[in-house]
Amino acid sequence: MSDAKHNIDVERLRRHYATMGLIRAFEDAAEQAAREGKVTGAVHSSVGQEAIAVGVCANLRQDDQITTTHRGHGHSIAKGTDPAKMMRELFGRAGGTSGGKGGSMHIADFSVGMLGANGVVAAGIPIAVGAAHGAKLLGNGRVVACFFGDGATNRGPFLEGLNWAKVFTLPVLFVCEDNAFASTTRTKAVTAGDGPAARARAIGLHAADIDGNDVALVDATVAELVARLRAGDGPMFLNCRTYRLRGHTAADAAAYRDASEVEARWQHDPMKLTAEQLQRLGVAESHLAGLRQAATVRVAQALAEAAAAPYPARATAFTDVQDVGAPA
Amino acid sequence: MSDAKHNIDVERLRRHYATMGLIRAFEDAAEQAAREGKVTGAVHSSVGQEAIAVGVCANLRQDDQITTTHRGHGHSIAKGTDPAKMMRELFGRAGGTSGGKGGSMHIADFSVGMLGANGVVAAGIPIAVGAAHGAKLLGNGRVVACFFGDGATNRGPFLEGLNWAKVFTLPVLFVCEDNAFASTTRTKAVTAGDGPAARARAIGLHAADIDGNDVALVDATVAELVARLRAGDGPMFLNCRTYRLRGHTAADAAAYRDASEVEARWQHDPMKLTAEQLQRLGVAESHLAGLRQAATVRVAQALAEAAAAPYPARATAFTDVQDVGAPA
Amino acid sequence: MSRITYQQACLDALAEEMRRDPRVWALGEDLGRGGVFGQYRGLVAEFGPERIADTPISEATIMGAAVGAALVGTRPVVEMRFSDFALCAVDELVNQAAKARFMFGGQARVPMVIRQPIGMWRSSAAQHSQSLEGWYTHIPGLVVVTPATAADNKGLLKSAIRCDDPVVYMEHKDLWQVPDDVPDGPDHLVPLGKARIAQAGSDCTIVTWSRMLSVALQAAGALAKDGLEAEVIDLRTLWPWDRQAVLDSVARTGRLIVAQEAVVVSGFGAEVAATVAEELGPRLKAPIRRLGSPRAPIAYSPPLEDVLRVTADSIADTAKRLCASG
Amino acid sequence: MSRITYQQACLDALAEEMRRDPRVWALGEDLGRGGVFGQYRGLVAEFGPERIADTPISEATIMGAAVGAALVGTRPVVEMRFSDFALCAVDELVNQAAKARFMFGGQARVPMVIRQPIGMWRSSAAQHSQSLEGWYTHIPGLVVVTPATAADNKGLLKSAIRCDDPVVYMEHKDLWQVPDDVPDGPDHLVPLGKARIAQAGSDCTIVTWSRMLSVALQAAGALAKDGLEAEVIDLRTLWPWDRQAVLDSVARTGRLIVAQEAVVVSGFGAEVAATVAEELGPRLKAPIRRLGSPRAPIAYSPPLEDVLRVTADSIADTAKRLCASG
Ligand SMILES: Cc1ncc(C[n+]2csc(CCOP(=O)(O)OP(=O)(O)O)c2C)c(N)n1
Ligand SMILES: Cc1ncc(C[n+]2csc(CCOP(=O)(O)OP(=O)(O)O)c2C)c(N)n1
Ligand SMILES: [Mg+2]
Ligand SMILES: [Mg+2]
């Protein structure tokens, strides 16, 4: 059985829903842990944006690669990172994805092609472009998806990176998560012109501009774009309209926007939309509740494990610095 | 009498020709002096691009402001800088525009609103934007023209500066001198999309894209754009198609392009085009030759004066550094 | 005198200077909502969005536009949020702001303040924790200020805003909530380039700045219990720095410790140590000692982060050893 | 042994390494036409435009793309043209290249070489003349190399390309045409972190690097005529630097001069001086002396530019005064 509109099969959509639920559960737990002081660094939740991560990464092979941002838990999970390892990272513990050295803003998991989150807005763009440049030089057929926010489109590397990718005909999919905010500022208030896709087109990229809360739509659109990447057509651009349902960080109450605005946006929550779609396709709500429950349990377990895990050995503060000239 | 096409009056066009001739003479002399080792730093000639400098600056008041690039002699002269002072600067002498401290790449003349050349490609863009931001805050009604090359449109500040100017509705005219080269590279080979104007439009700017070798056209176009700036319509963009008739610097023989290509472009030399136009309007070639001759004489005198001028006092190596904490 | 926080002190300073001089304005991301550390809270209500300007995420142009705006006669206060992000705007700071006055032969000045909060702030990790003050002392044309107390964060910020040259103004992220007695009224100015003897002593000299001041004072307290009198000097301004105050002190004590949070290698402590060695070398009673971070990126995990911190114990131990020898 | 220029030496080094390892490639502006100093001349003919890549004027992305390409297993050699322009790419170098290996817990490495020619080159003025090597020694994760001779510009570049961490490789613009005897064949490697005693001596130690080496050797020649034997040490690599070689030498001579072209204040000479003061302080026979540029931007006009230069005379004079005292 499949949804006519996007020709998506129900099993695929069900898997998307399960992964989105896992991301949602992870974000909720991470935010809570941050508020309780158990996670000592900043946590940027991607609640409301799960469909993008899942719809994009569903079209990537394990050895394809992604770069992400400060708001990267969802992308990591969608690409295949073990949430338990990532939670240990947030807790700064041994066995975390980066051995506790990076925390939430520097999640990376090279084993699944997750080349790293970034604490500097837009800094992942040139890195993704370079990874694609490397893939082309090595001829390994990999493609790279580069996630960034709408706020990042006002930084220079956005222009430079897109131009570079086009000039060198690189297999990069640029994915803008157009969530209406850049920290406490409405992105529109500081952004001129017709948006990210228009900017990309002016640099010669093919660009799609879609509802990023519709996971089937994201999936279908990306399938096409990635096929073009693999065919050697050069970089592709995808703008995903969405909304940041939480504060900028776990510490941000986001009082700069009306409760009513946020409530209205919850009606467009991708988890809700996907559940409705699955129900229309005949999947029972009880089954969906089971998926959500499984995610909650898995994350609760990850949380408990992380809280119980030991801190890294102090000597690791000086490992992985550099081969010559590291502190003794 | 006036030229119907651009409704330019002959006296104005004659003045443009004279200024263009002055720039041409200056550039020729400066390049020659550089080759002879009399000018010790790099010289970037604007030969072939004079119509842009003149057509733009003719529409600025003395207290309006400009920023320019490494290739900025023409803009400076067009804005009103004394060529003799500028030549002294190139010779590194006392009495130069920057007291010999800056040289060709750091010409500035605040007395006529010339806020500085720049040795860093695209660095003048944010500075121009900030000058316009300042003008708006001070409410002094000034407008700012910002000159840069086609190569600069691949640097991040291009995106950031244009976006900023539009967001804050600033009175800046961005002028791209689209001369086909960025140093020894053909700009097109490293630039994706439909060119500078398309990029500007995607950032919400009104953009004109014209033949930059037609001084009457530049003048007429800029008249309109500057009127809109003064009316508070926000930043405007002008792409001027032209050609760099000389090497990147005086030391560059530009062997990476065919002589035949360059010859063909000389047929489109703005000095030649303007002379023909003036002749069509009834000005005798002998009069034009007189203008050119006057320019040559004036520059020769500037050159002689510069060569005879003393070097700055050595103590000035430590002045103008900073008020507190300068070297003793 | 009022007891106010470091954060409130700089808020007051900026507001007072903006009232005093209509050419002063501030620009940066999220300033309209008070800035990321609340150090602009409420200012937009008094001064409006033109003078407390919310910008795009465009660090290079925040810095570059401020240069342009300064060249034409306004006095911008630039907010970089974290000194780490200012690395996106180094050309604009180092090649443009710092050099324009000189390159143009003194035709114009660049009166701007560049606020770049520095330092470790629990689990901010490698890209949000750096202390790069030493870098900017190396760049001609720049003034570098590192306030350690609320009183100084008022008086120095006001002096920085009145300075006609670009001032890299580095608050420490771990100090925002720390209170101090601050002189009332708009006339409290702290001059650029003058150190403060935070505690007098005769056995050894501890030179420090920024958040490390409180750690050094703690060490001095511990040393006092062992009968050792440490003199603690807060440099306050790193360029120009108060060479004379340091040389006078070390000439008296014969022993120097420089304590900094930054990476020791090529940190500003090297400049202080090298200068003292040049000027007083053979007259010292003991070798100079620098304390600071080992040369490793700053880790996220609390115990790993703590490995890099200079503690009061480490300062006191070092002082004791120096005083024992010689 | 062949007598070749500094420029030819690094051309040979890059070509040899590109032949040896197909993952090595170079990127930057105008490389296809040989690069701005001819240091890539002819390489595109042998290796093609994929491996000698002409880029847009996009310094931030040249650097950032190289980081990405290094993370996935290629070995990029980045050309920044002038170290001044690398200031447009400091986030990518300092926040990304230098930290990725550590932040990601050692999951990946960033084997890249960042070529940043430094130094005064007649009348290049304030934005094309800086020597900022000291900055990068302050940044954990970076290796910093400053070759002074053609032989080293071959052997060190090869070692830099083989290094698995980011190497800031700073050639000096005034050395391109200087010839030297260079060992033949592809096996000439100079190890990172090892200094070279360019001239042995027992009366004082002159520590230097990059172009200043030739000036120091000239000074040593002049001193020899006065019967003073200066030991001249070329550090070659500033991070890691050969502390032991310097300490051994100064322990013997008892006198240290550090000569650098960079601004003295917070330059790498401060690190050398501070280290020697810490380790040998009371055993020195004379105060340490640093020579370098006053803290002013570099002017265009030749006589003003020359005011900032360290000369053989100033080094020799300083050495004589040190040897007289103590
Ligand atoms: C260069 C830089 N400037 C500023 C910041 C602070 N900052 C962190 S996230 C953020 C907002 C980013 O907005 P957007 O790109 O839309 O991503 P979102 O947070 O909405 O996912 C800002 C300003 C930063 N990390 N890096
Ligand atoms: C940031 C930076 N990168 C590289 C250079 C070296 N450079 C000087 S001029 C130039 C070409 C500029 O091309 P364009 O902007 O088209 O100006 P044009 O020279 O054609 O006037 C380059 C690459 C520089 N000065 N600054
Ligand atoms: Mg956003
Ligand atoms: Mg050009």
List pocket residues of ligand 2, CB cut-off 6 Å: B 69-71, 119-121, 149-152, 177, 179, 181-183, 187, 244; D 29, 57, 59, 81, 85, 88
Asked if the Cβ–Cβ distance from C296 to D102 is below 8 Å, we say yes
The predicted pLDDT at position C223 comes to 98
Ligand 2 pocket test, pick from B67, B154, B183 with the greatest ligand atom count within 8 Å of Cβ, gives B183
- Check: CB of residue A305 under 8 Å from CB of residue A48: no
The predicted pLDDT at position A8 comes to 78
Burial state string for A161-190 with b = 16 or more CB within 10 A and e = fewer than 16: bbbbbbbbebbbbbbbbbbbbbbbbebeeb
Q: What structural domains and CATH numbers belong to chain C?
A: 2-182 (3.40.50.970), 196-325 (3.40.50.920)
Decide if D45 touches B, using CB distance below 8 A.
no
Question: Which 3 state secondary structure label does DSSP give B66?
Answer: strand
Decide if D33 touches B, using CB distance below 8 A.
yes
Q: Give me the percent of chain B exceeding a pLDDT of 90.
A: 97
Asked if the Cβ–Cβ distance from A99 to D71 is below 8 Å, we say no
Packing angle of the helix pair C6-20, C43-51 (nearest 10 deg): 50
CA atoms of C30 and C56, how far apart (whole Å): 9
Decide if A170 touches B, using CB distance below 8 A.
no
Helices (H), A174-268: 196-202, 215-230, 259-266
Contacts of A157 in chain B (CB under 8 A): 156
Decide if C1 touches A, using CB distance below 8 A.
no
* Protein residues with C-beta less than 5 angstroms from the ion ligand 3: A 149-151, 179, 181-182
Decide if C141 touches D, using CB distance below 8 A.
yes
The residue length of chain A stands at 328
Task: Name the burial class of residue B147, with classes exposed (0-12), middle (13-18) and buried (19+) by CB atoms within 10 angstroms of its CB.
Answer: buried
Residues 6+ apart with CB under 8 A from D204: D228, D230, D231, D253, D254, D255, D256, D257, D286, D319, D322, D323
> Do the strands D289-293 and D256-263 form a parallel or antiparallel pair, or are they unpaired?
parallel
- Check: CB of residue D241 under 8 Å from CB of residue C239: no
| Range with the poorest average pLDDT among A5-19, C297-311, D36-50 | A5-19
Of C84, C274, C299, the CB nearest to D270: C274
For residues B143-167, give the mean pLDDT: 98
Asked if the Cβ–Cβ distance from D302 to B311 is below 8 Å, we say yes
Ligand 2 pocket test, pick from B70, B75, B155, B175 with the greatest ligand atom count within 8 Å of Cβ, gives B70
User: What residues does A67 pair with on adjacent strands?
Assistant: A146
Q: Whose CA is nearest to atom 17 of ligand 2?
A: B149
| Options C128, C138, C172, C188, the catalytic residue | C128
For residues D64-83, give the mean pLDDT: 98
The predicted pLDDT at position B57 comes to 98
* All partners of chain B with 3 or more CB pairs under 8 angstroms: A, C, D
Of C58, C88, C300, the CB nearest to A101: C300
CA atoms of D147 and D135, how far apart (whole Å): 17
Q: Which residues of D are catalytic?
A: 128
Residue of B203, B237, B244, B232 whose CA lies nearest to B222: B237
List, for residues D193-232, the tens digit of each pLDDT value: 999 999 999 999 999 999 999 999 999 999 999 999 999 9
The predicted pLDDT at position D325 comes to 77
- Which pLDDT band, with edges at 50, 70 and 90, does A228 fall under? very high
List, for residues B231-265, the tens digit of each pLDDT value: 999 999 999 999 999 999 999 999 999 999 999 99
Task: Name the burial class of residue D187, with classes exposed (0-12), middle (13-18) and buried (19+) by CB atoms within 10 angstroms of its CB.
Answer: exposed
* Whether the predicted pLDDT of D18 surpasses 70: yes
B100 dihedral zone (left: phi>0; alpha: psi -120 to 50; beta): left
- Check: CB of residue B75 under 8 Å from CB of residue B66: yes
Class of domain A4-306: alpha beta
For residues B29-55, give the mean pLDDT: 98
Decide if A102 touches C, using CB distance below 8 A.
yes
Of C124, C126, C301, the CB nearest to A312: C301
Give the domain ranges of chain B.
4-306
* All partners of chain D with 3 or more CB pairs under 8 angstroms: A, B, C
Of C90, C288, C297, the CB nearest to D281: C288
List, for residues A88-126, the tens digit of each pLDDT value: 999 999 999 999 999 999 999 999 999 999 999 999 999
For residues A44-73, give the mean pLDDT: 98
- Check: CB of residue D27 under 8 Å from CB of residue D209: no
The predicted pLDDT at position C311 comes to 98
Is residue C172 part of the annotated active site? The answer reads no
- Which pLDDT band, with edges at 50, 70 and 90, does D281 fall under? confident
Asked if the Cβ–Cβ distance from A130 to D140 is below 8 Å, we say no
* Whether the predicted pLDDT of B7 surpasses 90: no
List, for residues D103-146, the tens digit of each pLDDT value: 999 999 999 999 999 999 999 999 999 999 999 999 999 999 99
- Which pLDDT band, with edges at 50, 70 and 90, does B2 fall under? low
* Whether the predicted pLDDT of A293 surpasses 60: yes
Asked if the Cβ–Cβ distance from C299 to A119 is below 8 Å, we say no
pLDDT, chain C, mean: 98
* Whether the predicted pLDDT of C210 surpasses 90: yes
Residue of A230, A300, A244 whose CA lies nearest to A83: A300
Asked if the Cβ–Cβ distance from C102 to D296 is below 8 Å, we say yes
* Whether the predicted pLDDT of C31 surpasses 70: yes
* Whether the predicted pLDDT of A7 surpasses 80: no
ipTM value for the complex: 0.98
The predicted pLDDT at position C281 comes to 86
> Do the strands D230-234 and D179-182 form a parallel or antiparallel pair, or are they unpaired?
unpaired
List, for residues A8-24, the tens digit of each pLDDT value: 799 999 999 999 999 99
Place of tokens 């691009």: B49
pLDDT, chain D, mean: 98
**What is the whole-number distance in angstroms between the Cα of residue B243 and the centre of ligand 4?**
8
* Whether the predicted pLDDT of D57 surpasses 80: yes
The predicted pLDDT at position D326 comes to 63
- Which pLDDT band, with edges at 50, 70 and 90, does C326 fall under? low
- Check: CB of residue A77 under 8 Å from CB of residue A107: no
The predicted pLDDT at position D274 comes to 98
- Check: CB of residue C238 under 8 Å from CB of residue C135: no
CA atoms of C76 and C127, how far apart (whole Å): 26
Contacts of C94 in chain D (CB under 8 A): 87
The predicted pLDDT at position B3 comes to 58
- Which pLDDT band, with edges at 50, 70 and 90, does C139 fall under? very high
User: What residues does C207 pair with on adjacent strands?
Assistant: C233, C258
CA atoms of D200 and C123, how far apart (whole Å): 49
Residue of A298, A295, A267 whose CA lies nearest to A24: A295
List, for residues A132-172, the tens digit of each pLDDT value: 999 999 999 999 999 999 999 999 999 999 999 999 999 99
